[in-house]
Amino acid sequence: MKKTLVIYKSKTGFTERYARWIAEDVEADVKPVTELDLAGLADYDIVVFGGPLFASRILDLGKVQSWMEKMPKKTWVVFATGATPSDADFVKSIEKINFPPEMPQPARFYYFLGGMDFEKMGWFNRLLIRLFGRLSQRKGKSEEAKKATPPSRFHSFDLSDRSYIERLVKYVRIKQ
């Protein structure tokens, strides 16, 4: 069986939860990306990296892509978590932004719905979310459109679900 490592970046815990679920299912080691360097990856054949979306970008992906470039023989799998419900067009747009052709490409990319935790979020990110919310409200032309913005947008919510990892787990098991 090939040695597998799951690494993650997580600010409020959603990505870490997915990383731990995946590690459990594929019998992998699991570590935050901040505790790793290139040498720490040497022993592994398969590396799964997960990070949250911040303004459509996967946090810490740049660091992981530099490792991908230096260790192209490993199987690299990337997943992102976000607060946007997933559909094929959304996932494609996230892929396009984060994996332009000149950058190293993972073997597979997955997107999992996470949530929003205002209690664990730092004040600056809380402020950004409130500003984004206001801006998107202003975009709505009618009063009706403004009212349609769900109040839950400003309250914490958790839409993570273990079943979302099934396709990723299946792929890693085939590679193992």
Ligand X SMILES: Cc1cc2nc3c(=O)[nH]c(=O)nc-3n(C[C@H](O)[C@H](O)[C@H](O)COP(=O)(O)O)c2cc1C
Question: Using CB under 6 A as the criterion, which residues of the chain lie in contact with ligand X when the complex forms?
Answer: 10-16, 52-56, 81-84, 114-116, 121, 125, 128-129
Q: Considering the complex, what minimum distance in angstroms separates the CB of residue 128 from ligand X?
A: 4
Of 56, 68, 60, 53, nearest to 32 by C-alpha is: 60
Q: Give the shortest CB-11-to-ligand X separation in angstroms.
A: 3
Any residues with CB less than 8 A from the CB of 21 and at least 6 apart, and which?
162, 165
Give the residue with the Cβ less far from ligand X, 71 or 118: 118
- 50/74 with CB nearer ligand X: 50
Give the Cα separation of 107 and 12 in Å (integer).
27
Choose between 74 and 112: whose C-beta lies nearer to ligand X: 112
User: Least distance in Å: CB of 129 to ligand X?
Assistant: 5
> Could you give the CA distance from residue 4 to residue 28 in angstroms, rounded to a whole number?
5
Provide the minimum distance between the beta carbon of 109 and ligand X in the complex, in angstroms, as a whole number: 14
Q: Which residue has the tokens 């679900």?
A: 161
CB 108 within 8 A of CB 76: no
- The tokens for 131 are 């500003």
Identify the DSSP state of 164.
G
Nearest to 112 by CA among 4, 5, 20: 20
Nearer to ligand X, 123 or 143 (CB): 123
Q: CA triplet 97, 58, 119: central angle to 5 degrees? A: 135
**Residue 66 vs 93, nearer CB to ligand X:** 93
The distance of closest approach from Cβ of residue 134 to ligand X in the complex, given in angstroms and rounded to an integer, is 14
